[in-house]
Structure 1
Amino acid sequence: MGSDDANTILRMAGLATPMALRVAVTLGLPDRLRGDEVAVERLAEDLGVAPVPLGLLLGHLTTLGFFERTATGYRTTGYGEHLCGDTLTGVLLNLDTAGGRAELAFVELLHSVTTGEPGYDRRYGRDFWGDLAEHPPLRESFDRQMTHRLRADAPQLAAGYDWGRFATVVDVGGGPGTLLAAILAAHPGTRGRLVDVDVSVAARTFAAEERASVVAGSFFDPLPAGADAYLLCDILHDWDDEHAGRVLARCVEAARPDSRVLVVEAVGGRRGRTDMDLAMLVIFGGRERRVAEFEALAAPHGLVLDAVTDVSEGRSVLEFGIG
């Protein structure tokens, strides 16, 4: 292996840049330096941090093009504006948000790989969902993250699959209601019901929508019965096989014999990314399952895979019937 290869590997493995980006976002530097340049000393005073280390941070990120140095200080470049707080990138990198906090669990990846257990629990003393319940600001940031993540895909998901076949859809663990709202907008004959532990945001989403209602509850508890379809979007990959199976069991318990269970998420080997496999493992003890793994997970609950439809760049719909 040549020195160029070794240097490339070391750059890939280096932690300085990933952590520098997260610290800059957490301190709000991209927003603070957007537009007008600010001297390091004044910026440090405003933020209550030491000026010399702050200068080192800005210096490194300037070499990467996120900031530029002027005669009187630093300012955010157009490239750096992708780190601002109103972007998905900013939400995910901020160490004070659910996404940014969760990614620090990667320091426990060795534990997760050797045991199959989530590293998040080991780092923080409770699982991801317990952490959100304990800290409402984390829950709020998670809802914002999911809204950002689904916003681009929701129109494709709503238009790329025949949701109009179903008179009633129960969105299980639907969070803010982004996807269900898109489905109802695209299919006027469909009614929806959203189930989630926290429905405060979804209640606002559907405040003026007569065809939708929200129900507070966990997907590990009994679900509204008798719907035509039970939708699980980005749910199963957050759980190991035991817990994911329990979610499917609740859907089957609530469903009619002719109902459908619809799983919408990235599918390994199809739309899933290998880095997200590791993220799901270290945060939740889950993974981006392959089609055969979904079939094996669903079979004990009497679910039979009828079709797989790729509906966006990142997600597919797996349609299960009750056999």
Structure 2
Amino acid sequence: MIDIFSPIALRVAATLRLADHVAAGADTLDELAKAAKVDADALRRLLRFLTCRGVFAEPSPGRYTLTGSAALLAADHPSRLREFLDLDTAGGRMDLAVCGGLLHTVRTGEAGYEAVFGQSFWDDLDTRPDLAGSFTALMTAVSRRLGPEVAAGYDWRDARHVVDVGGGAGFLLSAVLQRCPQARGTLVDLPATVARAQSTLDAAGVADRCAVQGGSFFDPLPEGGDVYVLSHVLHDWDDGPALSILRNCAAAAAATGGRVLVAERVIADDEHRALATEYDLRMAAIFGGARERSYDEFVTLAAAAGLAPGGVWHTSSQHWLMEWLPTT
């Protein structure tokens, strides 16, 4: 548990695209250093560390090959792990914020990200288009995986209008509409975000059944839906803002007798508790008040928003699907 070098060394290798360079034929130390634009001696020491741990192999002095572990770091690997580990991207900066800012967070309750980088995560994205683009790619990868699980894990048979609130580029909503040919959808997110949704909806063959609306989930939401979906939204916010989001969903759902479906990790006494608590600390260090919650905490938050518990379902990726019904 005290090893800090393996996680950071892997991220440095991912950032420098070492696996891609080796796969492309730059397999000697000098060739790798030139391709990665780094100091050869420092790279030698990094590779020595990684080969000792089976990440790369060194079949002859100064010549490197990929192992199964190194192949995971290639840009074309289906896991897209490299994108999550790249320290020059939003995901990588979040990791650095956790490493360098968690102590500040525990001491003050404030976001460690701002202590490390001088401004909040969201301000960082606003001033760095490259980071904003990498964050969108990161969330797209998450939505691509989670969308089919949400679509398969919930009973959509009576759904006629699904509103995905904070739905990004539309991958989750597309998966739901593909599964529910009787339903239409509305995608709600910030204008710059939903501007990228059309190609997603077209590729899924659901564009003719889906409206796209630019807006904030802190503002009143479009009425007329019978299912309002919040996926990976509430954990970004402390209880005050999260309550505002839920109240907007509850108000829109109550107008037509609809319901709210929340997809989140949940801190529970099960085999996934360790991972959920890890994500909870990450959220605290990056965003300050952001948090993963227990189911009881969701119940309390939902009750304050005018929502009562409905059903609960579990996905294969350790997310809970929690249904909430308006009480008024």
- Which TM-score applies when normalising by structure 1? 0.91
How far 1:277 sits from its partner (Å)? 1.3
- Contact in 2 for aligned 1:232/1:262 (Cα 8 Å): yes
What amino acid does structure 1 have at the position aligned with 2:120? D
What amino acid does structure 2 have at the position aligned with 1:287? R
Matches within 5 A, 1:130-279: 130-197=123-190, 198-207=193-202, 208=205, 209-257=207-255, 258-269=257-268, 273-279=276-282
- Contact in 1 for aligned 2:159/2:183 (Cα 8 Å): yes
What amino acid does structure 1 have at the position aligned with 2:285? V
Post-superposition Cα deviations, 1:281-323, rounded to whole Å, max 9, x if no partner, equal: 1112322211110111122221111222213331111111110
Give the % identical residues. 44
Corresponding position of 1:13: 2
- Contact in 1 for aligned 2:264/2:321 (Cα 8 Å): yes
Q: Using the alignment, how far apart are the partners of 1:127 and 1:304 within structure 2?
A: 34
Matched residue count: 312
How far 1:176 sits from its partner (Å)? 2.0
How far 1:81 sits from its partner (Å)? 0.8
User: Which ranges of structure 2 fall in alignment gaps of 5 or more residues?
Assistant: none
Q: Using the alignment, how far apart are the partners of 2:253 and 2:124 within structure 1?
A: 31
How far 1:211 sits from its partner (Å)? 0.7
- Contact in 2 for aligned 1:261/1:320 (Cα 8 Å): yes
- Contact in 1 for aligned 2:21/2:35 (Cα 8 Å): no
Corresponding position of 2:21: 32
Q: Please provide the CA RMSD for this pair.
A: 1.8
Following TM superposition, where does structure 1 have runs of at least 4 consecutive aligned residues deviating by more than 3 angstroms?
none
Q: Using the alignment, how far apart are the partners of 1:199 and 1:54 within structure 2?
A: 41
Post-superposition Cα deviations, 1:84-115, rounded to whole Å, max 9, x if no partner, equal: 22343211110111111111111111221233
Is residue 283 from structure 1 mapped to residue 272 from structure 2 by the alignment? no
1:98 to 78, 81, 90: 90
- Contact in 2 for aligned 1:37/1:75 (Cα 8 Å): no
Structure 1 pair 37–125 and aligned structure 2 pair: CA distance change class (3 A)? closer
1:83 to 56, 73, 93: 73
Matches within 5 A, 1:56-71: 56-71=45-60
Is residue 302 from structure 1 mapped to residue 291 from structure 2 by the alignment? no
What amino acid does structure 1 have at the position aligned with 2:19? P
Post-superposition Cα deviations, 1:145-196, rounded to whole Å, max 9, x if no partner, equal: 2232233333232112112322111111111212111111111111111111
Q: Using the alignment, how far apart are the partners of 2:37 and 2:72 within structure 1?
A: 24
How far 1:200 sits from its partner (Å)? 2.8
Q: Using the alignment, how far apart are the partners of 1:48 and 1:160 within structure 2?
A: 46
User: Which ranges of structure 1 fall in alignment gaps of 5 or more residues?
Assistant: 1-11
Structure 1 pair 262–251 and aligned structure 2 pair: CA distance change class (3 A)? same
How far 1:37 sits from its partner (Å)? 5.3
Q: Using the alignment, how far apart are the partners of 1:250 and 1:96 within structure 2?
A: 36
What amino acid does structure 2 have at the position aligned with 1:82? L
Q: Using the alignment, how far apart are the partners of 1:113 and 1:84 within structure 2?
A: 35
- Contact in 1 for aligned 2:113/2:120 (Cα 8 Å): yes
SS in 2 for 1:22: helix
SS in 2 for 1:163: coil
What amino acid does structure 1 have at the position aligned with 2:295? V
* Higher alpha-carbon deviation: 71-80 or 236-245: 71-80
- Contact in 1 for aligned 2:194/2:213 (Cα 8 Å): yes
